[in-house]
Every structure is written in structure tokens, then in C-alpha cells.
Amino acid sequence: MGPSKDVRWRQRFENFERSFKLLEKYANVGADNELERAGIIKLFEMTFELSWKLQKDYLEAQGYVIKSPRDAIKQAYQSDLIDDGHVWMDTLSKWNLTTHTYDEEMAKQFVDEIAGTYLPAMKHLYEKLSEEK
């Protein structure tokens, strides 16, 4: 493991941690209006992007070659870095969708999914890598 790659995932972890903590704080409070829902969704987008890049950096520090978010998720699952590959693949699909579409009814449902499904998956990754940093 090269020292620069080891440092890279640790730095990425710090950015992920800040974003994850904000998402955790607000996703569980509930969103009563359009602005709050938009804010939670934006935090989700940012946190997910950091999460897959963190997986990529961590895995590359271990010698893997990762070319895409899908690669990162597949290898992270095979390496026991994440515990539910299906949830992460679903998260990737939702992340791709949110960057292209905004619909208020979808946003309401999505905020519930973030709190109930996607945030717990990210929390598992956060806790796993917290032990290593």
C-alpha cells in the first residue's frame, strides 16, 4: 500500500464524515417543506458521491483497480466493506436519478427512503472505516 493512497482515503473519509453527519442530523428530523426536502436530497447526493469515492480510494489503497461507482460498490461488497450490495446499487440508481429529475411527490418519498434505507447503509460504511482511520 503506497503512503499517498493510504492518505487519500483517510482525507476522503474526513470529507465523507462531515457530509454524513449533516445528512444523519437532518434526514431523521423530517422535512416539512419543499426547501427542507431539497436540502436533504442535496446532502444525500453529496454524501453518496463522497461514499463511493471513499470506497474507491480505500480499495485502491489495497491494490484494486476501480473504474466506476458500480465497480467500487461491487468490490466493496466482495471485500466486506459494505454489507448490502443491493441497497448500494439501488442507492447508485437513485443518486443518478436525483441529479436529473426533481418532482415534489418523488422528493417526499425519497426523503423517507434516505432516512430509512440509504442512511443506515452509509452509517455501516462510516462505522467500519471509523475503526481503521
User: Global pTM?
Assistant: 0.91
Q: Report percent pLDDT > 70 for the chain.
A: 95
CATH number of the domain that 53 lies in? 1.20.120.330
Residue 68 sits in which domain range?
A: 3-130
Q: Please tell me the predicted confidence (pLDDT) of residue 29.
A: 87
Other beta carbons within 10 angstroms of residue 90's beta carbon come to 15
Q: What one-letter code names the amino acid at 49?
A: E
Asked if 52 and 69 count as a contact pair (C-beta separation under 8 A), the reply is yes
Round to whole Å and give the CA distance between 106 and 29: 18
In angstroms, the Cα distances linking 96 to 9, 30, 60, 91, 110 are: 23, 23, 23, 9, 13
Extract the runs of DSSP E, i.e. beta strands, from the chain.
none
> How far is C-alpha 3 from the chain's CA centre?
24
In angstroms, the Cα distances linking 3 to 6, 10, 42, 124, 132 are: 5, 11, 33, 25, 15
28-69 tens-digit pLDDT:
887 889 899 999 999 999 999 999 999 999 999 999 999 999
71-105 tens-digit pLDDT:
999 999 999 999 999 999 999 998 888 766 678 88
Asked if 68 and 52 count as a contact pair (C-beta separation under 8 A), the reply is no
Report the number of distinct structural domains present in the chain.
Answer: 1
3-state secondary structure of 132: coil
